[in-house]
Amino acid sequence: MENTVLERKDLWSLEQYAEKREGFRAEVLAHKQSRRVLIGQHILLVFEDEKTIRYQIQEMLRIEKVFESAGIEEELEAYNPLIPDGDNWKCSMLIQYPEVEERRQRLAELLDVENRVWVQVGETEKLFALADEDLERANDDKTSAVHFLRFQLGAVQVSGVKDGAAITFGIDHKNYQEDDVLVAENVRTSLAADLS
């Protein structure tokens, strides 16, 4: 995979997108099925790539009815950093508790959980994700329900993934301990495609 950055020419106009949206949306939803890792019962990682981010941008342009070049460039600038660079994985981390009061309590208990998410390729050492690099999401009382994570892989991990090594995720937080979540083969294949 080459370093992908979306440009205006990669996007459809609002009119074109209106025609293609239904089919593209179905395609992206199917694609995302192999890009999700549930860690425990309540924390979901959704891995982004060029296709998921293109969908996100097209949806934002549609909702906000943006068709001027400055507005389109603004969306590209905001979303392009979420596309993996060939030696990393980037994902949205969603903390999911459906009941409002429980969610409020859990987010307070899970302060700093976004910095305790790790990945392991084969037998290599665990790599902890870098969280919310350009955003301040947590405060002193609670963490946010959504975070953006980057797993920066070394050459050993990249070649391990390319050679078929197992990929496991976990969370090492005093209030959320989950070890050795082995990804399914379809997820492994999809994540391997993000690496050059």
Which helix (H) or strand (E) covers residue 108, if one does?
Answer: helix 100-109
CA distance 41 to 39: 6
pLDDT in tens, 181-193: 999 999 999 999 9
2 within some domain: no
pLDDT interval class at 142 (50, 70, 90): confident
Q: What percent of the chain has pLDDT over 90?
A: 88
What is the reported pTM? 0.89
136 within some domain: yes
pLDDT in tens, 79-119: 999 999 999 999 999 999 999 999 999 999 999 999 999 99
77 within some domain: yes
pLDDT interval class at 140 (50, 70, 90): confident
Tokens of 84: 């993996």
Contact by Cβ (8 Å): 58, 113: no
Residue numbers of the domain that contains 179:
8-192
46 within some domain: yes
pLDDT interval class at 154 (50, 70, 90): very high
130 within some domain: yes
**C-alpha of 18 from chain center:** 26
Contact by Cβ (8 Å): 169, 181: yes
88 within some domain: yes
CA distance 153 to 186: 20
* pLDDT for the residue numbered 1: 46
Contact by Cβ (8 Å): 124, 91: no
Average pLDDT over residues 152-158: 96
Amino acid (one-letter) located at 129: A
Number of domains in the chain: 1
Q: What letter would DSSP give residue 190?
A: H
